[in-house]
Amino acid sequence: MKKILTLFFALTLILILSACGAKKEAGSEQGSAFTGSVDDLIKAGKSVRCVLLAKGNEDISSGTIYVSGNKARSDFEQKVADNKNYPGHFISDGTWMYAWSEANKGQAVKFKIEEIQKEEFKSQADKQGVENYENKMDYKCYAWKADQSYFTPPADIEFMDFTQMMNQLQQQIEGLNKKVPIGNQAVCAQCENMPDANSKETCKAQLGCQ
């Protein structure tokens, strides 16, 4: 009988210790603080999931960044002109950056990452969400086993090649500048042929139009 009781208590103790160990392991993910941009996270060369520690005065109220190798994905909530929060997303595959938002349906864009640093493109690229890639923010980061499907752009969204559009715009502006003095109304009228409102605004600004 004593042997049976001893065996029973030993088994019970093992089960209790195993359960405690499992609970400790499940809650042991501490995370580490990180301050920097998405580009900085990529350059760190780790596979991580980072949760944004948003501040009350920021346009982005919440967000999560996933990074593996030279790839990154950001899913966030951003306040826009009507003071409402809308889901926004971008994916960087190391060569291209894809950006889309529920606030601007039908205006999904893609950029060549090496091109968006050019001064003539930067202001317009920022309006399309690139500032979220470059802004330094506070995160809590955790080790993450990468899921490569996170870095695949949605197949049901058509992405406009913003880099190509801006290059074409720049060529058109340079051509117009050679033909007609800056500020001439005939030249300014050509800006109305640009494909969207942001491009028209850039064209008029560079030509000195009112």
Q: What does the pLDDT look like over 64-109, one tens digit per residue?
A: 999 999 999 999 988 777 778 889 899 999 899 998 988 777 778 8
The Cβ of residue 34 has, within 10 Å, a number of other Cβ atoms equal to 18
pTM: 0.66
- How many separate helices (H) and strands (E) can be counted in the chain? 7, 9
Residues 6+ apart with CB under 8 A from 61: 54, 77, 78, 79, 85
Query: How far apart are the C-alpha atoms of 156 and 205, rounded to whole Å?
Result: 34
The Cβ of residue 127 has, within 10 Å, a number of other Cβ atoms equal to 13
In 3D space, the residue among 159, 148, 49 whose CA is nearest the CA of residue 100 turns out to be: 159
Q: What does the pLDDT look like over 17-76, one tens digit per residue?
A: 444 444 444 344 688 999 999 889 999 988 999 999 977 667 788 899 999 999 999 999
For the chain, first and last CA: distance in Å?
99
In 3D space, the residue among 56, 78, 30, 48 whose CA is nearest the CA of residue 146 turns out to be: 48
Pairing of the two strands 160-161 and 109-112: parallel
- pLDDT higher at 173 or 155: 155
Q: What does the pLDDT look like over 183-198, one tens digit per residue?
A: 566 667 777 766 667 7
